Amino acid sequence: MNNITEVVSAKFKDKYYKIDHESGLTIYVYPKPGYNSKYAIFGTHYGSVNNAFSLDGGEVKRVPDGIAHYLEHKMFECEDGDAFLKYAKTGANANAYTSFDKTCYLFNCTDKFDESLEILLDFVQRPYFTDETVAKEQGIIGQEIRMYDDSPEWCVMFNLLKNMFRSHPVQIDIAGTVESIAEITPELLYSCYNTFYNLNNMVLCVAGDLTPEDVLKTADKMLKPSENHTIENYFDGEPYEVCSHYVEQEFPVSMPLFNFGFKVKTHPVTRKEAAEVDILLGVLSASYSDLYKLLDDAKLINQSFDSEYFNGPGYNVVLFSGESRSPKEAAEKITDYIRELQKTGISREMFEIARRDAYGDALSSLNSVDNIANAMVDCHFNNADIFGTIEDIANATLEDVNERLCSLLDLDNTTLSVVLPAKE
């Protein structure tokens, strides 16, 4: 029997429903009455870093790099036709993506939601791999890998990760390499699918002018019961220190690009900590911040300057990125500013500006069905909830954000990755 829990936020005047489906799948439905657009995302807690694993305590399997992304591509090719062609008949816009820690399939539509949801739940539960189709996909994904090899934005980030991490697979391109994908077989794809595409390891999030009953009508019809299994992922020991502090590559670009990253001690990041880091990055990189103004006045950055925080099993990174006429000087000024800020602490005024900005962004995201459903996927896999995340931003304190500033950013454990204009 399905267990439905209503989660209400009187403060935000919104609610959502969590459904523990009898198949083993967790479903979230976030009603947005009056909205024309409907959005659904079906994800598994399986990404590019999960290349060594065991099932129910069995032997450890090691699979080729890029297989999670390869599997994502192959899922759309069904025995009875391409899933994209089926979506074309309903008018839905469909897509999918693989990240470091998850793979998701999604669509948005204005009508024929039931038919589109049926397509989604059907093809993701019906893998179809043959020697011929797998070999064909190797050429397609090989072209995609070469395309990313020609992308300066992609290379500047993975150059940073390769020089930051010694053994952790977060350093490996999500799509793998031409050599690694050549090792992929139908048997390996089925092994990964049967391990990670278990409904107990997945989540379905839906947002729009819908009720739980609307979603359950299709879910009850399409979901196949799954026996719960224990999945264990394995990662080689990763030292705390970065491999090297600097790496550069030449590309035909007009302005140098840079990624300046802090390798952070890995630990399970709590919802509260994530909210504090969100505010901290506003203090350090938002257009109203003192650091942004300092770099801008020195003509060391432009509007592309940004920051990011991403973490997962065995990796934890704070990243500053952008274009700069002098990336080394920009990185030095970022370092000097953070060092001084760690001594003096963030001012009350700047903290309040950043906290209100982060809170406003989080609230405004509740006006987008896409943002809602995507955030709920992240929350589910991180054992958080969307309302609680916003409340944590509202309740953050200056003292805690100052603590995060000092504990998170080790100025001796950084890597600067630069893309320079190619010489004639």
Distance, in Å, from the CA atom of 205 to the CA atom of 373, rounded to the nearest integer, reads 5
323: helix, coil or strand?
strand
167: helix, coil or strand?
coil
- DSSP string over 220-237: HHHPPP-----EEE----
**CB-based burial, 145-174: b 16+ in 10 Å, e otherwise:** beeeeeebeebbbbbbbbbbbeebbbbbbb
Cβ-proximal residues to 81 (8 Å cutoff; 6+ apart), any chain: none
Amino acid at 34: G
Tokens 């509007």, located at residue: 303
CB-CB neighbours of 226 under 10 Å? 17
| Known active-site residue 403 | no
Q: How many CA atoms lie within 13 A of 301 on its CB side?
A: 26
Residue among 47, 46, 64, 61 at smallest CA distance from 178: 64
- DSSP string over 341-354: HHHH---HHHHHHH
- Give the DSSP H/E element, type plus range, for residue 417: strand 414-421
Tokens 């093809």, located at residue: 123
Question: Do residues 235 and 62 touch, judged by C-beta distance below 8 A?
Answer: no
Please tell me which residue in 22, 59, 72, 399 is annotated as part of the active site. 72
- E runs forming strands in 191-345: 202-208, 231-233, 246-251, 257-263, 306-312, 315-323
Name the residues annotated as catalytic.
Answer: 72
